[in-house]
Amino acid sequence: MRNFDDSRIMEQTVSSEHVFDGLILHIDHLTNQLPNGKLAKREVARHIGAAAVLPVDGDGNVYLVRQFRAPVGRVLMEIPAGKLDYRGEDRLAAAKRELREETGLEASKWTHLNDLLTTVGFCDECIGVYLAQELTRGESHPDDDEFLNVVKLPYDEAMAMVASNEINDAKTVCALALARPFLEK
């Protein structure tokens, strides 16, 4: 593991003001001291965290979900995912729950791919991203008022949809791309 000298780029928080409480986001305005001694204001949105999972069956098919996403006003194609039930919840346990709830699948082989920081400029959201293999069918229990379509398609077709800019969701792009070496074994 390479070592980096970060001593000249560190910031110190000198004060913090809580400015917004929302349904998902809780926002602080930090006043940070920069390396040159000046002060800068940093907007920081606190998020509880999430887990996501790419399920791949023995034939090399992936299961994605199509879901309407209000922020972008359209339906996106994503890996199954969901917020943690509470801060600090085990992300693998949450990934197993979301896989079961959204697709009805269970998996006996789990591989951790990354703890993804989605948008580090303004938010602390971290998504534990997993690969799920050796799938069996359980029962689907979608959340009340969660409407989604599960789509099964070959891994290569999903990767082609990333390359053609038809899949844009960051956790989904990462999971598909990072899973490749594990699928070639």
Residue 144: phi and psi, rounded to 5, are: -55, 140
- Verify binding: residue 150, its own copies, rule CB under 8 A: no
Region of 166 on the Ramachandran plot (φ > 0 left; ψ -120 to 50 alpha; else beta)? alpha
Cβ atoms of 75 and 29 within 8 Å: the answer is no
What is the rounded distance in angstroms from the CA atom of residue 143 to the CA atom of residue 29?
A: 34
Interface residue with its own copies among 104, 138, 162, 183 (CB under 8 A) is: 162
Among 84, 132, 135, 148, binds its own copies (CB under 8 A): 148
The reply to whether 71 sits near its own copies by the rule CB under 8 A is yes
Residue from 83, 92, 110, 138 that binds its own copies (CB under 8 A)?
83
**CA 1 centroid distance within chain:** 25
Which of the ranges 55-63, 87-95, 97-105, 172-180 carries the binding residues for its own copies, by CB under 8 A? Answer: 172-180
What tokens does 127 get? 């998504």
Q: Which stretch binds its own copies (CB under 8 A): 88-96, 101-109, 121-129, 132-140?
A: 121-129
Decide: is 134 part of the binding site for its own copies (CB under 8 A): no
